[in-house]
Structure 1
Amino acid sequence: MKLTQVSQDDETLNIGNKSTWRIGLLFAALLLFMLSQALNYQDTKQIEARDQLLTQEIIQQGELATLKISQEFNQIKQATADIETALTQNKLTNKEIRQLIANTVNTTHGAFRGGVVFKKNRFDPSLPLYSPFYQKGADNKLLQQLSDNYDYTIEDDPLSKRPRTFWFHQPLKEGAMWLPPYYGTSAKSWIAEYIRPFHSNYDGLSQNGFDGIIFLNLSLSGLSKIVSQLDLAQSGYGFILTSDNTLISYPDQSLLGKNINQIKSQNSLFNNILAQKNQGQISVFTHPINKKECWLFFSPIAGTQDTLGILVWADELRATQGLNQASLPLDKIASLLCLIALILILSCLFFPNNLIRLGYRFSILISLIMFISLINLWADQLNGKQSFFSENQVFEAVNVNNLLLKNPYLAEESLLSKAHIKESKNHEISLNIKNLSMLAPGVIQVIGTLSIDHLSDLPDTPPLFFPLANATEWEKLESTKQTQSWKFIADIKQPFNYASFPFDMEEVKIQIKGKGPLANKVITPNFHSYPSMAPKDLPGLSPNKIEVKGWKTEQSYFSYEIFEQEKKSLLSFNILIKRNITGPIITHLLPLIMVSCLAFCTLLLWSKTEKKMSLWGFSSATVLEQCAALFFILVISHVSLRDELEAKGMIFLEYFYFGTYAQIVFVAIAAIIYTSNISVHILDYREGLIIKMLYWPFYFLFCISITLINFL
């Protein structure tokens, strides 16, 4: 058979050609470097544009919320102004004034209680301390007055045991004002009170100063509802601060009415809020408890001196909007282009004199670039940032209260509005995991202790259970007045997904549900029982670095699953575990690499020279025997992989098995064609030189394509 030959002159590169190649490679390296810088710049701009889009959306929501809140305050102000107009323009009777107050309270949105308080003898001599009021939803008496309980005209004395009267005297001196918020026991919520002084001539004198005040109370629970309706993913929440940094709206109701300057030592988050408040409309900081990136927004509420604050977790917001990662990893592509440029520059230092060697040089160069790219992609997948496996993550009490605000049907008997009352506390648990072991790919054994607080009685059996457990053994450790401690050993089913093996990260989910008296109760973690709630500090694991065979523990945290139809919640303790890559590389990846290398060695034996054929023993039969042996090794490894994982669907690593199968089949078929009388130029040219040069570039191209399809 006549083969195409290339002359020695065609194979040899002269000095001019070498210089041209070198200049071309250097120029290509320069272009690649410039392109990498452009991609880095574009990546930075994309990140800025993405975050700008999210922040603008939150700012718009904040502005709408402040508008609604401002309207709530303005309605109260306008209602008192309407009462003032009616009092000053008409001489109303006692009955008419009481009816006016009742109508105003009932028709003004958010109003809880209102009244008119006259100075002594300014309304009617027969009623020296005239102070009628009306309270929504209360048993109002026909002639009830504030003066029935105490004399409000006495000067205020904060040191006296008498009821305070500053609410009457201060507005008369300073004019209309909002008083500091206070908790109304009748309203069972926090109250903001607006007071407006007024002039009248019921006593026949119109030039003797203010005759009294008009007051109207605003229930702040309505403001909390407005703030809770903000679309801030699951964990974001809003709050309202007065001019002196007093909280008048906050998910944790126990902190309402408190100045954050006084409680910042108890919660380091308030230090950040105070520090960020004066930095502008938007600021970024790391949350002191969960160590996540947080965005903090402030928006003034028109018509008041109050400020609306909005706190969101940046990563959760990006994940919710599908923007946690760009569609193309431009920064990774830029790094790869820089690497290619460097390799091109280095390749110019030792330039071959022969076209064949030049072809091999380019084959090795391309293969090296692709191999480094593949390793880079795998490293990114192995060491990438954690995504949000579970929604509704909670790290402190405010997260639980925020969740209940957004899902009010979960709070039995209005727990939120009674959070300050000791009897209404949720049942708190302290969970400590002592040991984890993988019994099977879908079952994990958990050994630990569980403490339950705020129990009304102490049952003989655990008031909690694990819904996903196949079997659980309990042992009572301790019982006190309202607390029980139990030790448990549970075999818990886990719906692991091994599709990304060996770069998989799984979430061990330990669901906790009440039974008996606790069946419909809200169960919350006892956050104060853990030194740190940061997921990377592994709260709930003791010791922190629990060893799971073949896995590494990465994070742990609590979360809730919400069932809207059943109107129930389920507390979960979650442990993120990442597979140790060393074992799968040795057990499964190494055989694939060895088979691919041996298949390439078979290609290197191709020859039609009798001397080489007799020396190497090359023939189609020999190649088929070698391919059959390699195929047998590969099948055993493949079956072992699926048995080990008990896999049902496709696994990431299986694509490489199929690719290696294709390699073996291709080598076998190509060898048969090569040794036959069929003439195929790409196979016959210089004993399969083209196939040998393209073998590894195509192999790594396949690997990169599979990786990109599965992980991007």
Structure 2
Amino acid sequence: MMIRSWLRWPRLLAVMLVALALVLLVVLAALISSYSNHREQLLQRAFSSAQSQAFDAARTISRSFTEVMTIASTVSIDLTSGDLPYQDITERLFEEVDKHPDIDGLAITFQPYVYDPAERLYQEYIYKTPQGTFDTLIGASYDYSQPPTDAPDSPQTAWYHGPLANGAMWNEPFFATGAQKVLIEFGIPFYQEVDGEREAAGVVTIDYSVADMRDLVAGLDLGATGYGFVISPSGTILAHPVQDVVATQSIFDYAEAVDNDALAEAAQRALNGEQFHVEMTDTLTGEASWLFFEPVPMTDWALGVVLNQSEYAPDSSQTLREQTTILLVVAALVLIAISLLVRLHRGRKQALWAVSLAFSLIGIVLIVMVWYLANLWSRPGNVIQITSQTALDSYLTNYEERSQLTNGARPLRIPTGVFVQAVQFPDPMSVTVNGYIWQRYPVDSDVQRGFMLPQRIGEEATLDEVYREVEDDQELVIWYIGVTLRQSYNPTRYPFDSRDVTIRLMPLALADNIVLTPDLESYALVTPGLLPGLDPEVGVNNWQMENSAFSYAEVTYNSTLGLAQRADYTQFPELRFTIESQRYVVGPFIAYLLPGVVAAMMLFAFLVNEHDPGEKAELSEALNYAAALFFVIAVAHTALRDGIAAVGLTYLEHLYILLYITIIAIGLNTYVLVKQPKAWIVQYQSNLIVKLLFWPMMIGALLVSTLVVFVYG
């Protein structure tokens, strides 16, 4: 049957729907284009910035090693020109190490019989001992004149024959028995005139510690969590945040082990002098990353720079809004298409019900999609997680420089570790934590041992020292803790809320210049998703532990606490160990959402039930029905609020508020049916208008609520 009272101009309505669809198509195209272009621009800008960082880092390393190469080159030139007589080389070697104490060794090695016709081999080598002093080695300790071969028992003389054959070059890393450390060595030949011809007279070599190279690479400015590594011409890793792979593993062996041909190709092209990059999932951090390879000028090495893409990602809130807006326009287009398909403009009853159902289903899909997108982009981006020594050094550099200016010295770093064995939420605003905390102090430091937990509440707490020992030059102290900590908690998005268990750590000796640092070496893996520092048996009812990590927060105090050394600045990096957890939604859905949905269906069933207009008994029946449903809804609502101790209004409560309003609306509708049966809103087709609008209005209201809470609020 045609609803002629509503749709007097069906063709006009059809034209309007088509015109609206065309407008929305244009809007959708513009939104998608803007979204894509904006992200492309941000990605290009981020990529250029990251590439620039890698380029600058390679030049920084090159400058540092150019200074090392210059020392050896100058000695070589002076030997070749005769400005440095052979009898004065001992004095010259000591002069160089006095002027450049950072080098680990300097040697002059002669060709057979060149230094003294009566002595076949001769070398003078000054090197740094494990104690940091310099010692000398005069004379050849083995026959370095024998060239290396491919045999397993080949003499280790490539350091000498390589420069003679190829000119100035960096050699592969080796373990120096005298210095007891892994070194890399630069060699350059020097010459003499024999019968008017220039012949090689020997090699000048200069040593640089792999540990010093690692410190140099760790000091590069590569963002909060970026890190670098250096590879030799053979692919041997010369510097890397993971010390175990340095000088023991090749980038090519690693690429083969993980079946990553692109990584091997990128490394080889960089060693050939090209700039190259690949996108990969970093095995060290578990994050999507860019890996830039840059040739290091003046050397045959290549620098690899790994940068976390999330540091350069667009703002998550803006991305969520843009994606949701596109979804809304798509949903509107789908609804218009369905309306045209069922010929809504003709006003048939079946078409009206079809559009009502379509609107409701599309609304439900949109709500679920917003839940998904909000969870995808929910994590805040202002917390810097410390997952590597590189990230730690990068973060603390600025504070340490400020501290040096203020106190005349850099702060003492105290490595601190946390291992949580049990977590319990006694109430929404606190957490009880049991586990271990340990710290490492320099043996010769008189700093007071211990830490403070500024969130600690209550009188009952366990804080017992359970172990103490001296390891080399460090003192290890372990405490067992069982404390209740005050926590912040915002249940606004319940049941899609998250809860962080944060342990704030401060040094016990406030007056000392101390900064607590994560003891990263005590963890096998520090990838947040693998839950470092958390016992695998930890389980909290209704909560899923998602990740754990150390982080720093710049805590601002509005007081110096009466300490003179804090008078110049009041911001301090406070070490925090945070466990991020997400609520399981199945329980709250069954306990609180399901009763609400059932109540809504019962209200709709009451609404579609045929009522007798003008019959007063209908009003009494409606009131009784509404009162019974109100009681059920109120009980569930009260249980929800008691369970989470919410102060404001939570997301799931919007359903209950909507149900209260719906109960009142149905009561008013019944009243109009009884008292004003000729009213237009109830007269047509036995209250059809209200029946058609029930689900679209309810789902639409929930959709608006969802958008406000998760997206546009």
TM-score (norm. length: structure 2): 0.69
Structure 2 CA distance for aligned equivalents of residues 558 and 509 of structure 1: 10
CA, structure 1 residues 107+632, in 2 after alignment: closer, same or farther (shift >3 Å)?
farther
Alignment of 1:554-593 (within 5 A): 554-561=545-552, 570=575, 572=577, 574-583=579-588, 586-587=591-592, 590-591=595-596
- In structure 1, the partner of 2:425 is 438
* CA-CA distance at 1:579 after TM superposition: 3.5
**Is the 2:463–2:479 Cα contact (8 Å) retained in structure 1?**
yes
* CA-CA distance at 1:362 after TM superposition: 3.6
1:250 paired residue among 240, 246, 251: 240
Alignment of 1:114-129 (within 5 A): 114=106
Range that drifts further, 184-193 or 82-91: 184-193
1:505 paired residue among 472, 493, 498: 498
- In structure 2, the partner of 1:194 is 186
Amino acid at match of 2:295: P
More strand by share: 2
* CA-CA distance at 1:250 after TM superposition: 1.6
**Is the 1:602–1:623 Cα contact (8 Å) retained in structure 2?**
no
Structure 1 CA distance for aligned equivalents of residues 382 and 442 of structure 2: 28
1:241 paired residue among 218, 231, 234: 231
CA, structure 1 residues 542+118, in 2 after alignment: closer, same or farther (shift >3 Å)?
closer
State the secondary structure of the residue aligned to 1:305: coil
- In structure 2, the partner of 1:312 is 307
Structure 1 CA distance for aligned equivalents of residues 176 and 506 of structure 2: 35
Structure 1 CA distance for aligned equivalents of residues 255 and 42 of structure 2: 35
Provide structure 2 residue ranges, at least 5 long, that are not aligned to the other structure. 270-274, 401-411, 556-569
State the secondary structure of the residue aligned to 2:519: strand
1:548 paired residue among 526, 540, 562: 540
Range that drifts further, 231-240 or 558-567: 558-567
**Is the 1:153–1:168 Cα contact (8 Å) retained in structure 2?**
no
- In structure 1, the partner of 2:360 is 367
Structure 2 CA distance for aligned equivalents of residues 61 and 495 of structure 1: 37
CA, structure 1 residues 672+226, in 2 after alignment: closer, same or farther (shift >3 Å)?
farther
Structure 1 CA distance for aligned equivalents of residues 392 and 665 of structure 2: 58
User: Does residue 612 in structure 1 map to residue 613 in structure 2?
Assistant: yes
* CA-CA distance at 1:176 after TM superposition: 1.8
* CA-CA distance at 1:211 after TM superposition: 3.0
Amino acid at match of 1:577: Q
- In structure 1, the partner of 2:645 is 646
**Is the 2:105–2:125 Cα contact (8 Å) retained in structure 1?**
yes
Structure 1 CA distance for aligned equivalents of residues 38 and 30 of structure 2: 12
- In structure 2, the partner of 1:403 is 392
Amino acid at match of 1:403: L
User: Does residue 67 in structure 1 map to residue 67 in structure 2?
Assistant: no
- In structure 2, the partner of 1:4 is none
CA, structure 1 residues 179+231, in 2 after alignment: closer, same or farther (shift >3 Å)?
closer
Alignment of 1:386-401 (within 5 A): 387=379, 391-393=383-385, 399-400=388-389
Amino acid at match of 1:441: P
Structure 1 CA distance for aligned equivalents of residues 277 and 325 of structure 2: 27
Range that drifts further, 69-78 or 321-330: 321-330
Structure 1 CA distance for aligned equivalents of residues 259 and 601 of structure 2: 56
* CA-CA distance at 1:239 after TM superposition: 0.6
* CA-CA distance at 1:510 after TM superposition: 4.4
What are the Cα deviations for residues 6-60 of structure 1, in whole angstroms up to 9, with x where unaligned?
x98935999x969x98999899999989998998898777666654443332122
Alignment: residue pair count: 665
* CA-CA distance at 1:258 after TM superposition: 2.6
Amino acid at match of 2:296: I
**Is the 1:199–1:212 Cα contact (8 Å) retained in structure 2?**
yes
* CA-CA distance at 1:196 after TM superposition: 1.8
Amino acid at match of 1:60: S
* CA-CA distance at 1:193 after TM superposition: 2.9
- In structure 2, the partner of 1:420 is none
* CA-CA distance at 1:651 after TM superposition: 3.0
Structure 2 CA distance for aligned equivalents of residues 429 and 62 of structure 1: 32
Amino acid at match of 2:302: T
**Is the 1:105–1:111 Cα contact (8 Å) retained in structure 2?**
yes
Provide structure 1 residue ranges, at least 5 long, that are not aligned to the other structure. 1-6, 412-423
**Is the 2:122–2:140 Cα contact (8 Å) retained in structure 1?**
no
1:285 paired residue among 277, 280, 285: 280
**Is the 1:432–1:542 Cα contact (8 Å) retained in structure 2?**
yes
* CA-CA distance at 1:80 after TM superposition: 4.2
What are the Cα deviations for residues 127-156 of structure 1, in whole angstroms up to 9, with x where unaligned?
999977888999999xx9956364688635
Structure 2 CA distance for aligned equivalents of residues 323 and 179 of structure 1: 51
- In structure 2, the partner of 1:707 is 706
Structure 2 CA distance for aligned equivalents of residues 271 and 525 of structure 1: 31
Amino acid at match of 1:614: E
Structure 1 CA distance for aligned equivalents of residues 126 and 316 of structure 2: 48
CA, structure 1 residues 253+8, in 2 after alignment: closer, same or farther (shift >3 Å)?
closer
State the secondary structure of the residue aligned to 2:291: strand
**Is the 1:428–1:523 Cα contact (8 Å) retained in structure 2?**
yes
**Is the 2:320–2:374 Cα contact (8 Å) retained in structure 1?**
no
Structure 2 CA distance for aligned equivalents of residues 125 and 168 of structure 1: 20
State the secondary structure of the residue aligned to 2:575: strand
- In structure 1, the partner of 2:559 is none
**Is the 1:592–1:660 Cα contact (8 Å) retained in structure 2?**
no
- In structure 2, the partner of 1:296 is 291
Structure 2 CA distance for aligned equivalents of residues 591 and 150 of structure 1: 89
* CA-CA distance at 1:442 after TM superposition: 1.9
Amino acid at match of 2:550: S
Q: CA RMSD in A?
A: 6.2
CA, structure 1 residues 595+701, in 2 after alignment: closer, same or farther (shift >3 Å)?
closer
Q: How many percent of aligned residue pairs carry the same amino acid? A: 19
What are the Cα deviations for residues 647-692 of structure 1, in whole angstroms up to 9, with x where unaligned?
3445334555555666677778899999999x99879988987666
2:201 paired residue among 200, 211, 229: 211
**Is the 2:549–2:579 Cα contact (8 Å) retained in structure 1?**
yes
Range that drifts further, 355-364 or 119-128: 119-128
CA, structure 1 residues 62+189, in 2 after alignment: closer, same or farther (shift >3 Å)?
farther
- In structure 1, the partner of 2:560 is none
Structure 2 CA distance for aligned equivalents of residues 110 and 145 of structure 1: 15
State the secondary structure of the residue aligned to 1:10: coil
Amino acid at match of 1:366: F
Structure 1 CA distance for aligned equivalents of residues 380 and 175 of structure 2: 38
Amino acid at match of 1:553: Q
Structure 2 CA distance for aligned equivalents of residues 234 and 613 of structure 1: 73
1:54 paired residue among 46, 49, 61: 46
Structure 2 CA distance for aligned equivalents of residues 409 and 184 of structure 1: 35
State the secondary structure of the residue aligned to 2:200: coil
Structure 1 CA distance for aligned equivalents of residues 582 and 519 of structure 2: 24
Structure 2 CA distance for aligned equivalents of residues 87 and 263 of structure 1: 41
CA, structure 1 residues 523+380, in 2 after alignment: closer, same or farther (shift >3 Å)?
closer
**Is the 1:525–1:558 Cα contact (8 Å) retained in structure 2?**
no
* CA-CA distance at 1:703 after TM superposition: 2.5
CA, structure 1 residues 455+60, in 2 after alignment: closer, same or farther (shift >3 Å)?
closer
Amino acid at match of 2:582: I
CA, structure 1 residues 297+514, in 2 after alignment: closer, same or farther (shift >3 Å)?
same
**Is the 1:88–1:199 Cα contact (8 Å) retained in structure 2?**
yes
Structure 2 CA distance for aligned equivalents of residues 74 and 321 of structure 1: 43
Structure 1 CA distance for aligned equivalents of residues 366 and 526 of structure 2: 37
Structure 1 CA distance for aligned equivalents of residues 328 and 315 of structure 2: 26
CA, structure 1 residues 508+153, in 2 after alignment: closer, same or farther (shift >3 Å)?
same
State the secondary structure of the residue aligned to 2:552: strand
* CA-CA distance at 1:208 after TM superposition: 5.6
* CA-CA distance at 1:509 after TM superposition: 3.0
Structure 2 CA distance for aligned equivalents of residues 432 and 272 of structure 1: 40
Structure 2 CA distance for aligned equivalents of residues 23 and 574 of structure 1: 56
**Is the 1:604–1:692 Cα contact (8 Å) retained in structure 2?**
no
Structure 1 CA distance for aligned equivalents of residues 242 and 319 of structure 2: 29
CA, structure 1 residues 89+456, in 2 after alignment: closer, same or farther (shift >3 Å)?
closer
